[in-house]
């Protein structure tokens, strides 16, 4: 992916040369065939250089399949591939092996991806670096047998698109691997990830597929990077995805005239970039765009839906530029994953769902004044539904209100926070919860109050897991409370007049 040019891990300079081993001897045999991927699969990219666990993030996000980036050589001229070109991450069970097995045990899988922006601009993409076709093929097979996977991805962009010798070596090596797989009863798919225009592949990307046809190398999926157009045009990223894919479909029809329409759409893959891409805000892929693309992808029956990258699927840097660890827009963590995840398996219409965000998400007021925030809702899957809004967490001296208190997903409400002069100075988290038929979602607003005349509570804050005995005091929501007898887990203010907690008044 192009976004990695500034944040990719530094490449290790020295590695040992690969032994000139034949295909049949690598990986310890080939009879154990991997489970093929579903005909329609969601497989977001995982940035393998971050030190994070792919199995853990897959579980947290709900993405059963991952595209793992990237595999490359450590230096130009090498035929040994490594994760991120790092000699500390060889192609071996010790590098991500247990994570990949865990993902597979949960019914998912990974797609190892070769190349990427850094490799493609430093001649460390294996087919650019290594001039021996058999050793390139051996490297591919070693990845397949080490991790027991059924698909390899080739991320070819920038300089690698102009390296005709590398393109030819790559496709010849792919053909060797496909013949080896067929001879051993093993299904191995090959996907090509390529940059695109809004109307299909540019001539350089098309030439990669043309060379594959000429070499008899089967391309199972052509993934379009439907972002980073860099054309200074106005973009609706969802509409551009559809026109780009239609252009690719037309090109594939020329390359593979014997395929049906369904088979051609079944060769199409889409890779989005959630939020703001490298070009800037003019190319912003929104949650509404994601829902549109999902519904379109289901209707067309495309093969692969993906995005760059799983670690970006959060709202940690709203209003920011493209980054590898956040989307640059207001969103909940895993919003894009939750929209795309039902695509795996093929034809499921997504269950209705929505999101809730507050813009701005924080504010500061002088005690006695008020502030507002816009509470936005959006359809993240399926159709719009009625969302009932409520607010909680306001401390003593702060009145929180919403107008309106009910919206149709896609609508917005105004949150007003009014303070009194006696409000205690401090920082508070206010929660706005949207409830609908599909469940509930909450957005947080951080309110800072200054200049208040109220007094800070001196008793320790109540904690739900702490055991309290009679006579102990706690502070909770701006009041001091005294336990009448032994208690744990009972929230002050909820037990009633005859309950365990006695209200000693505001503090």
State the Cα–Cα distance between residues 327 and 357, nearest whole angstrom. Answer: 14
**Residue 349 has which token pair?**
């219409």
CA-based nearest residue to 179, from 211, 133, 222, 146: 133
Residue 475's H or E segment, with its range, is strand 473-476
CA-based nearest residue to 147, from 112, 191, 190, 193: 112
Distance set, CA 155 to CA 64, 116, 209 (Å): 21, 5, 13
SS3 content of the chain, % helix, strand, coil (to 5): 25, 30, 40
Contact assessment for residue 206 and residue 256, using Cβ atoms and an 8 Å cutoff:
no
State the Cα–Cα distance between residues 137 and 172, nearest whole angstrom. Answer: 8
Contact assessment for residue 163 and residue 110, using Cβ atoms and an 8 Å cutoff:
no
ω into residue 411 within 30 of 0, thus cis? no
State the Cα–Cα distance between residues 413 and 191, nearest whole angstrom. Answer: 45
Cα angle 69, 71, 77; round to 5: 145
Task: Report the Cα 374 to chain-centroid distance in Å.
Answer: 26
Contact assessment for residue 110 and residue 147, using Cβ atoms and an 8 Å cutoff:
yes
**Residue 427 has which token pair?**
């920082």
Task: Report the Cα 168 to chain-centroid distance in Å.
Answer: 32
3-state SS, residue 214: helix
Distance set, CA 130 to CA 77, 134, 153, 312 (Å): 5, 10, 18, 33
**Residue 304 has which token pair?**
């692969």
Catalytic (active-site) positions? 157
Sheet containing strand 479-483, strands side by side: 473-476, 479-483, 501-506
State the Cα–Cα distance between residues 180 and 175, nearest whole angstrom. Answer: 9
3-state SS, residue 215: coil
**Which residues lie across from 355 on neighbouring strands?**
378
Cα angle 30, 49, 12; round to 5: 85
- 501-506 vs 41-42, strand pairing mode: unpaired
State the Cα–Cα distance between residues 27 and 97, nearest whole angstrom. Answer: 13
**Residue 191 has which token pair?**
């996907």
């Amino acid at each position: 992916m192009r976004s990695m040019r500034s944040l990719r891990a530094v490449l290790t300079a020295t590695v040992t040369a690969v032994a000139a081993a034949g295909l049949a001897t690598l990986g310890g045999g080939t009879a154990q065939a991997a489970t093929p991927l579903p005909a329609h699969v969601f497989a977001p990219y995982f940035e393998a250089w971050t030190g994070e666990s792919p199995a853990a993030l897959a579980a947290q996000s709900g993405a059963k399949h991952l595209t793992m980036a990237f595999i490359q050589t450590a230096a130009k001229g090498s035929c040994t591939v490594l994760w991120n070109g790092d000699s500390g991450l060889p192609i071996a069970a010790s590098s991500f092996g247990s994570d990949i097995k865990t993902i597979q045990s949960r019914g998912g899988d990974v797609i190892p991806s070769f190349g990427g922006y850094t490799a493609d601009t430093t001649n460390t993409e294996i087919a650019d670096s290594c001039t021996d076709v058999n050793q390139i093929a051996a490297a591919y097979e070693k990845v397949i047998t080490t991790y027991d996977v059924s698909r390899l991805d080739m991320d070819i962009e920038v300089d690698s698109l102009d390296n005709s010798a590398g393109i030819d070596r790559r496709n010849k090596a792919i053909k060797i691997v496909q013949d080896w797989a067929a001879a051993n009863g093993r299904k191995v798919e090959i996907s090509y990830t390529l940059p695109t225009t809004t109307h299909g592949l540019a001539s350089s990307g098309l030439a990669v597929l043309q060379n594959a046809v000429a070499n008899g190398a089967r391309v199972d999926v052509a993934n379009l990077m439907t972002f980073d157009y860099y054309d200074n045009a106005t973009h609706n990223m969802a509409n551009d995805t559809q026109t780009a894919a239609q252009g690719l479909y037309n090109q594939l029809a020329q390359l593979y005239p014997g395929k049906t329409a369904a088979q051609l759409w079944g060769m199409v893959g889409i890779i989005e970039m959630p939020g703001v891409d490298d070009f800037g805000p003019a190319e912003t892929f929104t949650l509404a765009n994601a829902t549109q693309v999902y519904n379109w992808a289901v209707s067309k029956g495309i093969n692969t839906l993906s995005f760059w990258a799983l670690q970006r699927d959060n709202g940690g840097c709203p209003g920011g530029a493209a980054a590898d660890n956040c989307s640059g827009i207001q969103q909940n963590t895993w919003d894009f994953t939750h929209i795309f995840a039902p695509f795996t398996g093929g034809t499921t219409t997504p269950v209705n769902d929505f999101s809730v965000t507050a813009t701005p998400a924080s504010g500061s007021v002088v005690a006695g004044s008020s502030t507002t925030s816009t509470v936005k809702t959006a359809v993240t899957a399926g159709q719009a539904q009625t969302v009932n809004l409520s607010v909680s967490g306001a401390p003593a001296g702060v009145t929180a209100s919403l107008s309106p208190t009910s919206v149709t997903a896609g609508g917005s409400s105004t949150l007003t926070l009014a303070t009194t002069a006696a409000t205690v100075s401090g920082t508070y988290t206010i929660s706005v919860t949207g409830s609908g038929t599909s469940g509930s979602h909450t957005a947080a607003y951080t309110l800072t109050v200054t200049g208040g005349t109220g007094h800070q509570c001196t008793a320790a804050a109540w904690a739900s897991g702490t055991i309290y005995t009679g006579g102990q005091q706690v502070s909770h929501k701006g009041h001091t409370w005294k336990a009448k007898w032994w208690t744990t887990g009972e929230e002050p203010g909820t037990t009633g007049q005859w309950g365990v907690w006695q209200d000693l008044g505001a503090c």
